[in-house]
Amino acid sequence: MDLGVRQIRTAGKGSGSIELTLPADLRDLVGLPCRITLRDGNRPDIVLQPDLQRAHRAFAMLWHAMADVLLTDDTPFPLPDFTFGLHPRYGGNPAPFLSWRDGLALAGPPPHDAAAVSRTLATFGQVMAPLIDIDPALSAAFGAACGFLLTGAPPTPDAQQACDLVALHLADTRPPLGALDATGSPFWLLAEPVLAAAAGLFAAWTADPAGHATLCAAWRRGRSIEMSGD
């Protein structure tokens, strides 16, 4: 990723203190320790590698909390199953994706940003779905449903259909939404029946794909009418 050209400045000759003004796209890294590597040669590179262990630990903690509800065994955080990027990413990438920005937000003190929690849980749900016998074709929708039901925030703009359908079928199971502490035990106590209900719903749709297709078609018709104003 080309982030443009910046100048290295010094606080004074001989002081050893230098600074580099980074682009606004990297503001999420403010305060993180960075490893600095000089790659020597005819075109030397200075590489800054941020320490993202805090974000990794937050992801792992949330994975284990969600796995305790949905999976029957102690499944390690499957790092190779995910792709990562600094910023949230929408559309065009069906692979399970985690944003380091979200991980850093979740590593901070509560309340946690609802959108960051929703995106993260949606990605975890996408990976867990096949492990609980949900049709892989429904994995992304199941993940989106998990994120939405527990936060009230759709994880991505293209997840609206899944969110609307589960809201219709599981309206009575959604927990009261307040300030989110996604790393706290009270959150996961409320989450347990919600996730179980979502898993049951998607298992039923896996067993009845024609019924699910009918619901999706009806949603699209309703959306089309809503958008056209007819």
Query: Which tens digits make up the pLDDT trace of 172-218?
Result: 777 666 678 999 999 999 999 999 999 999 999 999 999 999 999 99
Share of the chain above pLDDT 90, in %: 63
pLDDT value of residue 177: 64
43 and 89: one domain? no
Asked if residue 140 has pLDDT above 90, the reply is yes
72 and 178: one domain? yes
Is 2 a member of any domain?
no
Confidence category of residue 8, pLDDT binned at 50, 70, 90: confident
User: From the CA atom positions of the chain, what is the Rg in Å?
Assistant: 21
pLDDT value of residue 17: 78
Spell out where the chain has E strands.
8-10, 18-20, 34-39, 45-50, 83-85, 97-99
85 and 107: one domain? yes
Ramachandran region of residue 148, left (φ > 0), alpha (ψ -120 to 50) or beta? alpha
Is 134 a member of any domain?
yes
Is 1 a member of any domain?
no
181 and 206: one domain? yes
Report how many domains make up the chain: 2
Is 136 a member of any domain?
yes
Pairwise CA distance, residues 42 & 26, whole Å: 27
15 and 110: one domain? no
Asked if residue 169 has pLDDT above 70, the reply is yes
pLDDT value of residue 193: 93
Pairwise CA distance, residues 36 & 41, whole Å: 16
198 and 127: one domain? yes
Is 166 a member of any domain?
yes
Mean pLDDT of 97-105: 96
Confidence category of residue 30, pLDDT binned at 50, 70, 90: confident
- Collapsing DSSP to helix, strand or coil, 21 comes out as coil
Q: 171 or 109: whose pLDDT is higher?
A: 109
pLDDT value of residue 25: 81
Is 200 a member of any domain?
yes
* pTM tops 0.85: yes
Residues of the domain holding 152: 53-228
Share of the chain above pLDDT 70, in %: 92
User: Which pairing describes strands 45-50 and 34-39: parallel, antiparallel, or unpaired?
Assistant: antiparallel
